[in-house]
Amino acid sequence: MKFINPSELKSKIDAGEVFQLIDTREVEKYNTCHIEGAISIPQLELPYKLDLVQKEGTVIIYCIYGMKSDQVYIYLKDKLKIKELYILDGGIYQYASEIDPSMDV
């Protein structure tokens, strides 16, 4: 598995890099707060929404603490064979702690 830390993700966002950011938490949590540019694909809905996931380029996934992202990572690697797939280390909680403490996680 490959990981990206919160400061690396923030640098990518600030530099305007092209990548897909997927929030795998429940929609209610996404609606409360999410990282800029993220789309919502809850983990349990993923098998029905694979068409929303880009197969080329960089894809970064996150959950609340980064623990449940392991399952999503393995699933996406198996189903879509994404080469540049990353998990946000520490999830949105760590991102909020290090980058944007105003986030209501």
What's the pLDDT tens digit per position in 6-48? 999 999 999 999 999 999 999 999 999 999 999 999 999 999 9
Cβ–Cβ contacts within 10 Å for residue 94, how many? 18
CA 77 to chain centroid, in Å, comes to 14
Tell me whether residue 82 is in a domain: yes
| Phi, psi of 40, rounded to the nearest 5 degrees | -100, 115
pLDDT at 40: 98
Within a domain: 23:
yes
Residue 74 lies in a domain: yes
Could you tell me if residue 105 is inside a domain? Answer: no
Per-residue pLDDT, 75: 96
Domain count for the chain? 1
3-state class (DSSP) for residue 45: helix
Q: Which domain holds residue 77?
A: 3-98
The answer to whether residue 20 sits within a structural domain is yes
Q: Does residue 28 belong to any structural domain of this protein?
A: yes
Residue-level pLDDT at 32: 96
CATH of the domain at 72: 3.40.250.10
Query: Model's pTM, two decimal places?
Result: 0.96
What tens digit of pLDDT does each residue of 76-87 get? 999 999 999 999
Residue 17 CA to residue 24 CA, distance in Å, equals 21
* 103 in a structural domain: no
Amino acid 70: pLDDT: 94
pLDDT of residue 57: 96
